[in-house]
Amino acid sequence: MSVTWIKEGLLFAPDRQAAWRTSHAALPVVQERDGSALLYFSSRDEKGRSHIGSADISLSPPRRVLAVGDAPLISPAPLGAFDDAGVTTSCIVRHENRLLLYYTGWSLGASVPFYLNVGLAISEDDGRTFRRFSAGPLLDRNGVDPYLTASPWVIVEGARWRMWYVSGTKWNRTVDGGVRHEYHIKYAESHDGINWDRRGVVCIDYASPDEYAFGRPCVIRDGGRYRMWYSYRGRRYRIGYAESMDGTSWVRRDSTSGIDVSESGWDCEMITYPLVLRHANGLLMLYNGNDYGRTGIGIAREG
């Protein structure tokens, strides 16, 4: 099912108004509330470490940012933790009276540049503050995911929690002497959102030898099928699209994603990290442009 997206331009451009957000506003996540919405995003400090912050936004025209939080909700953890080099947003789930913020924790490596692991933070005051569920990762490396885990998207269906997440398949040495990651999108299930059963189910795999990475998936259920938006890359990130009847077996339909880079401006080089949500009478997409969110968060509406 194809969608044509009509770009409305930048919604939120990063500023230098606080030490924790000197650049970037990446990986948008939205928590809708009565009459308003809360935008979660990742910004970087002067050391390049990501922090998770929030902003009050209006999703009704004219769509705009109303206020940006002064302090980060989650910052890098103490030295040696799985997320001591940065934390980046991925997914927010409301369950009973709590908000569960699934995120990616970054740590630096020696033989490889970085390690990624899925983490979890919980809010019991409707998103005003969050506490880490654990000092350790929610999804650590194991036999199913031996290299990295990152960028989860979670949906709760009755007693079943469903997760689509990024998993590393290997690191490659490049011709210039560096190393490059490879990762695709896998699937896991849980009964409580904490303990996850990972069996190595691959949902979105590489379409060609030129592809080597996928960004955070975003999944919605539309009647009897599932729809997923994600970013994929060879040379530069583009936004892809896939469909599934059961949430595990997916058919890629990237040519019908309905959105591409602009001829010029803030998203002329890459488009990435799509967040698709239902609003009013149609779908909205928040996404990042050039340089992984350095130019900010844009918005598009279903055409």
DSSP code string of 33-95: ETTEEEEEEEEE-TTS-EEEEEEEEE-SSSPEEEEE-SS-SB---STTSTTSSEEEEEEEEEE
Q: Which two tokens stand for residue 175?
A: 């011709």
Residue 53 burial (10 A CB sphere; 0-12, 13-18, 19+): buried
Q: What pLDDT is stored for residue 36 in this prediction?
A: 81
Mean pLDDT rounded to a whole number for the chain? 96
* Cβ atoms < 10 Å from Cβ of 13: 13
Mean pLDDT of 3-30: 94
What per-residue confidence (pLDDT) applies to 66? 95
CA distance 35 to 45: 32
Three-state SS at 262: coil
What secondary structure letter does DSSP report for 271? -
Nearest to 28 by CA among 54, 65, 64: 54
Phi and psi angles of residue 126, each rounded to the nearest 5 degrees, phi first: 60, 35
| Omega prior to 62 cis, within 30 of 0 | yes
- Range 170-189 average pLDDT: 93
Rounded average pLDDT over 65-93: 97
CA 247 to chain centre: 18
pLDDT of residue 246: 98
Query: What percentage of residues in the chain have a pLDDT greater than 70?
Result: 100
Rg for the chain, CA atoms, rounded: 18
pLDDT score of 121:
98
Q: Find the mean pLDDT for residues 71-88.
A: 98
Pairwise CA distance, residues 153 & 286, whole Å: 15
pLDDT mean over 26-41: 91
How many separate domains does the chain show? 1
Q: Identify which of 106, 99, 103 has the alpha carbon closest to the alpha carbon of residue 119.
A: 103
Q: Is 68 exposed, middle or buried (0-12, 13-18, 19+ CB in 10 A)?
A: buried
pLDDT at 1 over 90: no
2 pLDDT higher than 80: no
Task: Supply the pLDDT for residue 59.
Answer: 94
What pLDDT sits at residue 177?
82
Whether this prediction's pTM lies above 0.85 is answered by yes
Asked if pLDDT for residue 44 goes beyond 80, the answer is yes
Mean pLDDT of 257-283: 96
Distance CA(207)–CA(179), nearest Å, equals: 21
What's the domain range around 257? 5-302
Q: What percent of the chain has pLDDT over 90?
A: 92
String of b and e for 72-111 (b: at least 16 CB within 10 Å)? bbbbbbeeebbbbbbbbbbbbbeeeeebbbbbbbbbeeee
Three-class HEC string of 203-238: EECCCCCCCCEECCCEEEEECCEEEEEEEEECCCEE
> What CATH number is associated with residue 19?
2.115.10.20
Tell me which of 85-89, 152-156, 220-224 is least confident: 220-224
293 token code pair: 């969110």
Answer yes or no: are the C-beta atoms of 75 and 85 closer than 8 Å: no
